[in-house]
Amino acid sequence: MSLANLHRNKLFLHWTIVIAFLITIATYIAACHLFQHQFQTTLSISEREFIRTLFYVVAIILLPLTNLLRFILLRLNQTMFNNTPATQRYLLTVTVSQILVHIPALFGLIIFSLGDDFNSLYIFSLISLLGVYIQRPRQNELAKIIEAIDNRA
């Protein structure tokens, strides 16, 4: 078995988490289509615009912040002194990153439930999907963590 296949197998749980978040986003969109009238409340346009703008600002700031946090977590994974396996360390990094990039999808669901249209739901979902793609598990990151732990031992 090659080293690449070994790392791919170690990332199975990591990719399972990513797929679970993708399914959750698809479920949000499907639920909004199926239960649109039962799900939406009416809020004044000015209040919705304010909340939507606030959500956009937070979502735009969240993506680079998540990237920075992931970078920090990856360095901690390589330098922490404990007996936690590399795959488990990397799993925490991937999970935290995926949770943070999932927040814009929740914003879309919230703003839709406050009476906004599907356009906002789709935009926030796409921002979240972009984040999921950017923060996906990578074999080379896991390999660097394993290498750093092995070199330290």
Which tens digits make up the pLDDT trace of 59-98? 999 999 999 999 999 999 999 888 889 899 999 999 999 9
- The pair of structure tokens assigned to 97 is 């990153």
Radius of gyration of the chain (CA): 19
Where in the sequence is the domain holding 128, given as residue range(s)?
A: 3-152
- The pair of structure tokens assigned to 1 is 């078995």
* Domains contained in the chain, number: 1
Which tens digits make up the pLDDT trace of 115-149? 999 999 999 999 999 999 999 999 999 999 999 98
